[in-house]
Amino acid sequence: MDTRIGFGFDSHEFKPGVPLRIGGMTLDHPEGLAGHSDGDVLLHAITDALLGSVAAGDIGSFFPPGDPRWKDADSAIFLKLALEELEHAGYSIANIDTTLILTAPKISPIAGEMRSRVADLLGVEIDQVSIKAKTPEGLGLDHVAQCHAVVLVERTEEPEELKSMEAVIETQRQLEDVVDDLLASVHGVPKKRTITPVYDTEDIT
């Protein structure tokens, strides 16, 4: 089986007065996560893991933070783009494992619902998505939410470039004709092909 691995990390600072968005859900909490988009630390880490699995860059290369279009954007948009990149490369998700690191709110009571939401966004089954959470013990980072994500992807089809190569090979004959014409015009090399008569000479009786 042809598999690849991807890893993603993200962090955002807590900020009063904004909704807390994690895993595509709005959580009941007095503070949200500061960010140019909705600050969804979990979806950002998964997006980077997906892009990383097919070496397609990272979230910042597709969605520069300074771009006003992504101001307060729903991070599900970023996830969808990463999925398209994955599909384009001919891969699909085998499974995803994540660890959120934050002091509050408690994630374990809602982890099931969050897994279900993320699985829906990714178009996979809930048992392909794991969401774990820890507190930032000893890190002195109680004002920050962090997330690590790892994804295993498996090849499901030929990547787009290979498909187009096949199309080229199918039309190899036409390609050879073009090359012959080019050689003939540039170097004065006579065409290799002999002109096929419109009738079969053997048939002339």
Residues that bind Zn ion (CB under 5 A): 10, 44
Nearer to Zn ion, 10 or 85 (CB): 10
d(CA 25, CA 5): 26
d(CA 149, CA 175): 46
User: CB of residue 176 vs Zn ion: minimum separation in angstroms?
Assistant: 51
The DSSP 8-state label assigned to residue 9 in this structure reads E
Nearer to Zn ion, 21 or 44 (CB): 44
User: CB of residue 137 vs Zn ion: minimum separation in angstroms?
Assistant: 22
User: CB of residue 26 vs Zn ion: minimum separation in angstroms?
Assistant: 16
Residue type, 185: S
Nearer to Zn ion, 143 or 163 (CB): 143
d(CA 119, CA 78): 15
* CB-based closest residue to Zn ion: 44
User: CB of residue 10 vs Zn ion: minimum separation in angstroms?
Assistant: 4
Look at residue 20 and give its three-state secondary structure. Answer: strand
Nearer to Zn ion, 44 or 117 (CB): 44
d(CA 40, CA 130): 16
